[in-house]
A and B are shown apart, each in its own frame.
Chain A
Amino acid sequence: MKRNVLPGLPLSLGVTLFYVGLIVVLPLAALAFKAASLGPSDYWAIISSPRAVASYRVTVLCALGATVFNLVFGLALAWVLTRYRFPGWRFVDAMVDLPFALPTAVAGISLTALFASNGWFGSVLADFGIKVAYTPLGIMVAMAFTSLPFIVRTVQPVLEDLDPALEEAAQSLGGSDWTIFRKVILPLLTPAILAGLSLSFARSLGEFGAIIFIAGNQPMSTEITALLVFIRLEEYDYQAAAAIASVLLITAFVMLAVTNILQARALRYTVRS
């Protein structure tokens, strides 16, 4: 057997597997088990109830919206933070992590205060007839806020490692700035962008604390799926809670699988012959 330089593989492997099993797999299995204890027809009836479907719709659409917003804004932020050094750079760079560090309830309350019709932003937007708090738009704002760091922090290191000579080479070959961005920089960032997008979307699907303050939580219009799970739980309807939660779980899994496939495709050039 080939000896490894670092000792203790069996021990560390054992600890790792035990940990993953106990902390990750077991709760998920319990969830699946609970949901499976319903009959197929009951399960289907719960997850396809109009109120549940409405909650999927608002959750997924808002998460998509927030992710697209973060794609554009996060990419721009990552670009500025890597390419330029300006007074206050360090401060802005640190601020990016704030949504990670801030308790989501605090974020939710601040956003609600800002966007309420008498808040700083809300009162201005109200003049234009735009209502954010207690509408799906508010949900989107909360999701975008809490998931912004994912895109910035996945793209930033890749952008920093990009060899400036690649851009210079493309320039010397006659490429315009836009062509260089589209054909050279963007394809090299794609794997990182995909990773950031999937994390951002997954986080938005599952976000709870920041959203419930700003959402208004009206069934059928501004009630997110995570909240519906919570309500069922409060009613001691564990099976229904597990059933609806399983939908979120499956969505997250499918999405993760899809992004992994896309990432592998985007990275096929790194495979050696």
Chain B
Amino acid sequence: MKIRLDRVVKTFNTFRAVKDVSLDIESGELVALLGPSGSGKTTILRMVAGLEYADGGHIYFGEQDATDIPVRDRGVGFVFQHYALFPHMTVAENIAFGMKVSKVKREKAEIASRVEDLLRLVRLEGLGGRFPAQISGGQRQRVALARALAVDPKVLLLDEPFGALDANVRRDLRRWLREIHDELGITTLFVTHDQEEALDLADRVVILNEGQIVQQGTPEQVCRDPKSAFVTRFLGDANRLSAEVRGGIAYAGGASIAAGDLADGAAELYARPGDLSWSQEGPGIAASITRVLDRPGGRRVITITTDGDHLEFDVEPELSVRAGQQGYVSLRRAQVFAV
């Protein structure tokens, strides 16, 4: 089911949580709404679900205007951050809930066999008789997903689905959700504040800030070509340097890099830790090492430039660096934005 948001507005008291957001989600697509807290991403998701009503604009499911359809008739599957499983029902009863309360009457045996199928799909065979308090967090979220899928939703909506889980479980569940999505082909929209999760999982990432979409595109598009300093900063660790653009080249304390078609004047330059390299001789930005952090994959070096900017980057594990050393940081790649 294709979903279209047309200039949707939501205000809480006097706070404008969502300002004129328009967004198209293609049928079968897996889209991430990514943004810091307070960016309006959860509000948008809840409006698509019908758990909040838009104050302005329209939400279309296919050709149908769904703006005012109440949540129980909208045919969406919603997965909550803290699972929201019914604690007094077993796993199987939780999954069967939607089918039991549905207007479409089903035979008991039909419900039972569908519950078994769903338990198999989420790889929880044999746990149908347990209560939610008796299974782990990751298992609970899988039950929540099975419960949402049981009613054959047109759209699957997930609100920070892995937010309450620890790192390893998150990674597993992420891959697994992608597999389920590919198997069922159901239009899926999920909210996260974790860039890695969004980039890992989604076909398309929609980045929000202060109630507005600041950029959207495939993970490749947003990573390779961020359109603003905010997007660059939000997508991952980035070093910021003050720069000056003259004739299409950005200069920052002894280093320079192409600045595209940016007009002459003050600018800011962002470089990822992997975009910087270290040498004893120069050329580059003169800096001294303040700390070296050892990690399994390499060494993270923290330096301070003569202008007082902090720069962080990674070097090969073999390289001998220590705090107090003087040297030069050179730029291999950077994003330059006008101030």
Contacts and interface: CB of A to CB of B under 8 A. Distances in A.
B133 A173 contact: no
A269 B88 contact: yes
Interface stretch (B24-32, B78-86, B192-200, B237-245): B78-86
Contact of B98 (A165, A166, A174): A174
Contact of B80 (A165, A179, A272): A165
A29 interface: no
Contact of B72 (A165, A174, A184, A273): A174
A169 B84 contact: yes
A173 B101 contact: yes
Given A163-B84, A169-B84, A173-B147, A272 B134 contact: yes
A178 to B, nearest CB: 10
B131 interface: yes
Interface string B115-149: 00000000000000011111000000000100110
Interface in B86-102: 86-89, 97-98, 101-102
B87 A269 contact: yes
B250 interface: no
B151 interface: yes
A175 interface: yes
B51 interface: yes
Nearest to A186: B88
B134 A273 contact: yes
Contacts of A113: none
A133 B148 CA distance: 56
Interface in B140-176: 144, 147-148, 150-151
Contacts of B150: 173
B76 interface: yes
Contacts of A173: 72, 97-98, 101, 147-148, 150-151
A270 B78 contact: no
Contacts of B73: 174
B295 interface: no
A42 B102 CA distance: 63
Given A184-B86, A187-B88, A269 B133 contact: yes
A179 B101 contact: yes
Contacts of A179: 101
Given A169-B78, A184-B86, A175 B97 contact: yes
B40 interface: no
Interface in A135-188: 163, 165-166, 168-176, 179, 183-184, 187-188
A171 B88 contact: no
Given A165-B82, A273-B130, A273-B134, A171 B87 contact: no
Nearest to A191: B88
Contacts of A188: 87-88
B35 interface: no
Interface string A100-126: 000000000000000000000000000
A170 B133 contact: no
A20 B246 CA distance: 87
Main secondary structure of the interface of A (DSSP, over half): helix
A213 to B, nearest CB: 44
A166 B84 contact: yes
Instruction: Tell me which of A163, A165, A173 has the highest count of chain B C-beta atoms within 10 A of its own C-beta.
Output: A173
Instruction: Tell me which of A187, A269, A272 has the highest count of chain B C-beta atoms within 10 A of its own C-beta.
Output: A269
A168 B80 contact: yes
Contact of B51 (A172, A175, A269, A272): A172
Instruction: Tell me which of A168, A169, A172, A174 has the highest count of chain B C-beta atoms within 10 A of its own C-beta.
Output: A172
A270 B133 contact: yes
A32 B73 CA distance: 62
Contacts of A184: 86
A169 to B, nearest CB: 4
A176 B70 CA distance: 11
B8 to A, nearest CB: 19
B292 interface: no
Nearest to B89: A269
B49 interface: yes
Nearest to B157: A172
A243 B50 CA distance: 64
A96 B284 CA distance: 75
Contacts of B84: 163, 165-166, 168-169
A133 to B, nearest CB: 44
B231 interface: no
B77 interface: yes
Nearest to A179: B101
A271 to B, nearest CB: 8
Interface string A72-91: 00000000000000000000
Contact of A176 (B72, B74, B76, B147): B72
B103 interface: yes
Interface of B: 49-51, 70-74, 76-78, 80, 82, 84-89, 97-98, 101-103, 130-134, 144, 147-148, 150-151
Given A166-B86, A172-B74, 15 more contacts: A163-B82, A163-B84, A169-B84, A170-B101, A171-B70, A172-B76, A172-B148, A174-B98, A174-B102, A174-B103, A175-B98, A176-B101, A179-B101, A183-B101, A269-B131
Closest 5 CB pairs of A and B: A173-B98, A165-B84, A169-B84, A172-B78, A273-B134
27 contacts: A163-B82, A163-B84, A165-B84, A166-B84, A168-B51, A168-B71, A168-B84, A169-B84, A170-B86, A171-B71, A171-B72, A172-B49, A172-B72, A172-B76, A173-B101, A173-B147, A173-B148, A174-B102, A174-B151, A175-B72, A176-B72, A179-B101, A183-B101, A188-B87, A270-B87, A271-B133, A273-B130
